[in-house]
Amino acid sequence: MAVFDTLGISGSGLLLHRKWLDAVSDNMANVNTVKGFDEEPFRERLIIAQSIDYGSGEGGVRAARAEFGGDPEGRVVYEPDHPLANAEGYVRYPDIDMGDQMVQLLIAQRGYQANLAVVERATNAYQAALNLGRNA
């Protein structure tokens, strides 16, 4: 394991968790986005993580891909007074559970904070080691 691998591994974790936070915030912002009955609703964004060189101590993580979650048909709601309602009075909402998004937000935020703490501690340790060399 190289001296600065800690920063690379934690940096990859920061990038992954930022992408996860972006996806969750996008989902939460669009939870009440209404589409006409004949249009496809907003789809929940999911980030799929993948380890890099798992077990080697030199890898990290990356966003392997982004996927769509929820029912592709969305939630069909009867709102005859809505301007986007069809002739029968139905509109489409995204199939996104706000409670689930809040949990995802907390997990992604904690992961981001944990990786940031590792970066800060590693940086402090490297700076302390450099100062030892200067004072010798």
pTM for the model:
0.83
Helices (H), the chain: 5-29, 98-135
Domains: count for the chain: 1
Q: Compute the distance between CA of residue 116 and CA of residue 48 in angstroms, rounded to an integer.
A: 21
Residues β-bridged to residue 67: 46
What is the pLDDT tens value at each position of the chain, 136 positions in all? 565 788 888 889 999 999 999 999 999 999 999 988 888 999 999 999 988 877 666 678 889 999 999 899 999 999 999 999 999 999 999 999 999 999 999 999 999 999 999 989 888 888 888 888 676 5
| Tokens at 90, concatenated | 């139905």
- Closest C-alpha among 53, 99, 97 to residue 71: 97
Residue with tokens 């800690």: 6
Quote the domain boundaries for residue 39.
5-135
